[in-house]
Amino acid sequence: MTKLTVVNTKGKEVSKISLAEDVSKVNTAVLYQVVNKYMASQHRGTHKTKKRDEISGGGKKPWRQKGTGRARAGSIRSPLWRGGGVVFGPNVRSYSYTVPQKARQLALREAIKSKIKDNSLVVFDSIILSKPKTKDMASVLRALKVEGKCLMVTEAVDNNTKLASRNIPNFSIKNRKDINALDILLFNKLAISEESLKKVMGKIISKQ
């Protein structure tokens, strides 16, 4: 049983929640599999070398087949020649592959567990800014003690919060439906709303 404190945007405790799941054990195998999947999907795969038939020229036989004392040659674009084609070179392709949805959901929970284990997770009740001011958002982050490279996750990002946070360096705020395990692991700290945490972790949270 893991207990977490829920704070408001001023850093004051409002309640406590308990996780029935053991956070001391993180499934690194599924994290590795899913993170590799997301990183492979980001690989552009635009590398390309030309094969023998894709290089212009070389249509004429350099010299006759016999009688010159030299090796037989049919084209100056042979891979054996300088300026010729490349054998088994890279071609444009997609590196992406699929991972089962349940594995992606499990990896997301394991990523959150890793933040809890490292004491890098802060749970807050909600965030609503009356004005789109960067200094207001910065004061919220100071109150939550998540200054630095931080990801904030909420159920819905209102326009004021979005505008107030876009000029803060090393900070990103996302909707809960748009995050994945890689997003969480790329940031040093995670600030997540209580509602979002419940929906990600499932029915293993009890309020106290």
Beta bridge partners of 7: 13, 124
Q: Looking at residue 23, what is its pLDDT?
A: 81
Helices and strands in the chain, H and E counts: 6, 7
What proportion of the chain, given as a percentage, has pLDDT over 90? Answer: 80
Measured CA to CA, the distance from residue 26 to residue 185 in angstroms comes to 13
Predicted TM-score of the model (pTM): 0.81
Closest CA to 194 of 154, 161, 159, 145: 154
Span 67-106, pLDDT tens digits: 999 999 999 999 999 999 999 999 999 999 999 999 999 9
For residue 27, give both structure tokens: 């499934």
Q: Looking at residue 96, what is its pLDDT?
A: 95
Domains and CATH numbers, the chain: 2-27+100-207 (3.40.1370.10), 49-89 (no CATH)
**Quick check: helix, strand or coil at residue 19?**
strand
Span 24-78, pLDDT tens digits: 889 999 999 999 999 999 999 999 999 999 999 989 999 999 999 999 999 999 9
**Quick check: helix, strand or coil at residue 178?**
helix
Measured CA to CA, the distance from residue 188 to residue 79 in angstroms comes to 49
Span 113-161, pLDDT tens digits: 999 999 999 999 999 898 999 999 999 999 999 988 999 999 989 899 9
Burial of 97 (0-12, 13-18, 19+ CB in 10 A): exposed
End-to-end alpha-carbon separation of the chain, Å?
A: 13
In what order do the strands lie in the sheet containing 171-175? 171-175, 150-154, 189-193, 121-124, 2-7, 13-19, 205-207
Q: At which residue do the structure tokens 């749970």 appear?
A: 123
For residue 156, give both structure tokens: 């819905």
